Amino acid sequence: GQQLNQSPQSMFIQEGEDVSMNCTSSSIFNTWLWYKQDPGEGPVLLIALYKAGELTSNGRLTAQFGITRKDSFLNISASIPSDVGIYFCAGPIFSSGSARQLTFGSGTQLTVLP
Amino acid sequence: NAGVTQTPKFQVLKTGQSMTLQCAQDMNHEYMSWYRQDPGMGLRLIHYSVGAGITDQGEVPNGYNVSRSTTEDFPLRLLSAAPSQTSVYFCASSYSNVVVGYTFGSGTRLTVV
């Protein structure tokens, strides 16, 4: 079943505001990924985190790998209209053998108001 | 390069009908996966393949079949469509064991009436 709990489920913010969202798990992950999905498109990778405590930026986006390895955070600074979309956290799970697949959080729907 | 191509983009089926969702990638990726996306539930893994001739079940496999006869193609078959299969379906591919390398298609929106 779903292993990642993502919050908030949705956010309505004014253009220019900062945004924070997070993802928690009952299990330890050794990699955290953050994806963005634009309307009508598939998810696109924004940031990948590989080490507990790691802080990584991609433009106005900053993500952190929690030190317990059970959580991760994504911040967006100075939001703009094109930030609208669904943001997903994801992490690898081991399927049969050594094959790794991705499990996803339920997503945060971000709306940016002008 | 086209990346991951899914067809069709939209489909309406009647309950009980069967159909195949197509997925093709031109990046020579070993791993391919099918996910479904439902409101408030994120993406859930249906089936995946780690190479031609090898497939396995994901989290929600019931009602779906897959096969992988070539590296490039990974079709998803709905055997007898049900309204509960109304969803957006995404195909993804990656090089083996490189989690961050997953590339997603643009999705197929399926409605079963």
Statement: residue A32 has pLDDT above 90: yes
- A89-103, B17-31, B47-61: least confident range: A89-103
d(CA A42, CA B88): 10
Model pLDDT, residue A99 = 58
What residues contact residue B62 under an 8 Å CB cut-off, 6+ apart?
none
Model pLDDT, residue A97 = 52
* Residue B2 banded pLDDT, cuts 50, 70, 90: confident
* Residue A102 banded pLDDT, cuts 50, 70, 90: confident
Statement: residue B1 has pLDDT above 80: no
Cβ pair A43:B43 closer than 8 A = yes
What value does the mean pLDDT of chain A take? 91
d(CA A20, CA B40): 18
Question: How confident is the model over A48-85, as pLDDT tens digits?
Answer: 999 999 999 999 999 999 999 999 999 999 999 999 99
Statement: residue A2 has pLDDT above 60: no
What does each C-alpha distance from B83 to A110, B8, B17, B78, B106 come to in angstroms?
Answer: 28, 18, 11, 12, 22
Q: Which of A1, A42, A100 sits opposite B106 (nearest CB)?
A: A42
Statement: residue B96 has pLDDT above 90: no
CA dihedral for B28, B33, B34, B37, sign (positive or negative): negative
What residues contact residue A82 under an 8 Å CB cut-off, 6+ apart?
none
Choosing among A102, A103, A108, A109, which should be mutated to test the B contact, i.e. which has the most B CBs within 10 A?
A: A102
Q: How far is B97 from chain A (nearest CA, A)?
A: 6
Q: Which of A2, A31, A107 sits opposite B99 (nearest CB)?
A: A31
Choosing among A100, A108, A109, which should be mutated to test the B contact, i.e. which has the most B CBs within 10 A?
A: A100
State phi, psi for B85 to the nearest 5 degrees: -90, 5
d(CA A14, CA A114): 6
List of chain A residues whose C-beta atoms are within 8 Å of the C-beta of residue B94: none
What value does the mean pLDDT of chain B take? 93
Q: How far is B104 from chain A (nearest CA, A)?
A: 5
DSSP SS3 for A92: strand
CA dihedral for B33, B36, B39, B41, sign (positive or negative): negative
Q: Could you count the other beta carbons within 10 Å of the beta carbon of residue B96?
A: 13
Tokens of B69: 């006869």
